[in-house]
Structure formats: structure tokens, C-alpha cells
Structure 1
Amino acid sequence: KMIKKLAYREGIGDLLADGMAEAAKKIGRNSEYYLIQVKGQPSIEPFRIPKGWALAVSTSPVAGRHLRGATMGSNRYGPRPRPGDF
């Protein structure tokens, strides 16, 4: 049902059809603060948690380049082994 509302711009679909950033501008009341986006592009990555990753993504010349500078692997699995560690 939601896809149909977006496609035909019916009800809430009209508000969301132009993307999250435009919807937040229309809603106002500081709702842009709650967007998860990088340089205007929506993101599904939780950049508010790993600060180093957020810095790498926000300074990347390409919006949404989420694999560069990702620190989650080292946090989860430990640092990468160095040559000679084996």
C-alpha cells in the first residue's frame, strides 16, 4: 500500500515521494536533526555510533561511500593481523 501511495503521491506518499530530506524540510520543527543522511543522500548505516566511521564518510568526496573508513570490523573482530603475525 505504501509503495502505491508514494507512486501516486497520495496522502503521506506525497510528503515522502521527494525523499527524506525534502520531507524533513516540509515538516520543520528541527526534524532534519533526525535524518540519517550523508551529503543529502539517505543512509542505512548507523553513523552516529562509530565516530571514526562517521568522520571518514562525511569527509569522503563521494556521498554514501560507506565502506571506506569503516571501523566496525576492527571493533567487532579485533585489529587486522599484520604480516609476520602468523
Structure 2
Amino acid sequence: MAIDEARFAELKKKKEAQDASLRESWVRAMEARIVNDNLQKCHRIEGVNHYEKCKHLADRYTEMLKDARVKGYKIIDV
């Protein structure tokens, strides 16, 4: 049984939306990773003053952690 063109277009659109969502999720996760790397560098460079000098990075990283998980999606039922 062949899938008609409308159903195929609908499935293709749904797949593209899922891919875009997954891509955005990965971007947020990698941005959080970069901020974490910068925070660790700041801690090493600043030494005992890191609480004061790196606070902006720590606050930003804490905020990013709330949304930094890679979220998957369910498989399309054909």
C-alpha cells in the first residue's frame, strides 16, 4: 500500500520539526558546556578570588543548566 503525497508531506514536515527541535536542544547543551569550560578556566586563573571574579559565569551557568538537557522525541508512527 503506497503512502499518498499529502501523508508523505505531513510526515516530512513533522520529521523536519523534530530535527530542528533536537538541533536546538544540542546547541543549548553545547553553549552550557562552553560556559562551564570558561568558568573552570576562570577558577584556575583567579585562584582564591574566584568567588568574586567568576560570579557572572557561575550565575550564567546555573541559569543555563535549567534548559541544557538534550531532549529527544518519539519515533513517528507510519
Give TM-score, length-normalised by structure 2: 0.24
Higher strand share: 1
- Name the one with the larger helix percent: 2
Considering Cα pairs closer than 8 Å and 6+ residues apart, tell me whether 1 or 2 has the greater RCO.
2
TM-score by length of 1: 0.22
